[in-house]
Amino acid sequence: MAKSKAFLGQFSDADLRLLKIFKIVADAKGLSAAEAKLNISCSTISKYIGDLEQRLNLVLCVRGRGGFRLTDEGVSVYQAITKLNGAIDNFKLSINELHESISGTIRVGLFDKILSNPNANLIEALERFTTLAPEVKLELMVEPLNSIETNIVNEHLHLGIVPTIKQVSGIEYCPLFDEHMSLYRSPNLHLEGTDEQALMAIPYVGLGYYSPNMAISQTLNLISSAVASDQEAVAIMILTGKYIGFLPDHYAANFVAEKKLIKIENQRFTYDCSFKLIHKNSKKLNRPASILKKCLIDSH
């Protein structure tokens, strides 16, 4: 499709609808997967995407028998839609504040496996918040540490709760709670002793992005034989009986009770994580986000 002109016309409700349809399809990674959510046929969805491509004068995706994928232009448009949705939500929140109404949408990013942590009073905080702001729509998303930090900076998330190892420029950090991590193995994994030399000889699985988990493994010179996207994936790999890996003690407790995991008793191979509430520090929090922040801090 030739790029003969730029998209400079007026923006209409019809354009917003087409952009919403395109984002749903992109999130679903295909027309068929988006069909049920949109409640329209694949052929109609394809027509709407074609209309949007014509409107923008861009090819947004490849679709057909060969599968579905976004073009480079499609990725850029998807990212722009995400920013637009965030701007619209922030606009609604700002207008509601002018009318002294606590409503709108608050998006919060959470690191995984914190619910079972006895130090994390997340439920108590959310109960307080929903009592104070019952009309606010809460969106909770479990994401990796680096993803939460990025989405805080680009304002796709209002708040985040993450383990911290280094502070990112542009983000404010408020302490909430701690988490203790230990090294675990399956009963099916043969281990000669628990000294450093014995542990170094066992294949290790850890998180595949910069985090306290990756930092401690580098400090201890553990050689990563496998990587995982979250702590549940780490647990699955350990349960195969082929790897050792770090898990939160509170999360591993049930596996230990069921004799599916064994904690490796070596204090050198343990560490503590400090979890903090984060938000962008160059921008004043809207009223709902400020209330939720206070609820989280007061509950801890």
One domain for residues 64 and 114: no
- We report the CATH number of the domain holding residue 43 as 1.10.10.10
One domain for residues 283 and 257: no
Evaluate if residue 8 carries a pLDDT over 70.
no
The string of pLDDT tens digits covering residues 182-216 is: 999 999 998 887 778 888 889 999 998 888 999 99
Residues 179, 176: Cα–Cα separation, whole Å: 10
pTM of the full structure: 0.67
One domain for residues 48 and 170: no
One domain for residues 102 and 58: no
One domain for residues 262 and 132: no
Nearest to 102 by CA among 144, 50, 138, 76: 138
The string of pLDDT tens digits covering residues 50-92 is: 999 998 999 999 987 778 899 999 999 999 998 888 888 778 7
Whether 86 is covered by a domain: the verdict is no
One domain for residues 206 and 127: no
The string of pLDDT tens digits covering residues 22-45 is: 999 999 888 988 988 888 998 899
Residues 296, 170: Cα–Cα separation, whole Å: 21
One domain for residues 18 and 65: yes
Whether the CA torsion 187, 193, 196, 200 is positive or negative: it is negative
List CB contacts of 244: < 8 A, sequence separation 6 or more.
183, 184, 185, 189, 199, 202, 203, 204, 205, 238, 264
Picking from 46, 81, 116, the residue at the C-terminal end of a domain is: 81
3-class secondary structure, 79: helix
One domain for residues 191 and 266: yes
Q: Supply the range of the domain harboring residue 234.
A: 178-272
Domain tally, the chain? 3
Q: Which residues pair with 185 in a beta bridge?
A: 262
One domain for residues 52 and 166: no
Half-sphere exposure for 38 (CA within 13 Å, toward CB) = 27
Whether 285 is covered by a domain: the verdict is yes
**Identity at 199, one-letter amino acid code:** L
One domain for residues 143 and 229: no
Whether 3 is covered by a domain: the verdict is no
One domain for residues 104 and 39: no
The string of pLDDT tens digits covering residues 217-259 is: 988 888 889 999 899 999 999 999 999 999 999 999 999 999 9
Nearest to 62 by CA among 94, 96, 25: 25
Percent of the chain with pLDDT over 70: 94
Whether 67 is covered by a domain: the verdict is yes
One domain for residues 147 and 286: yes
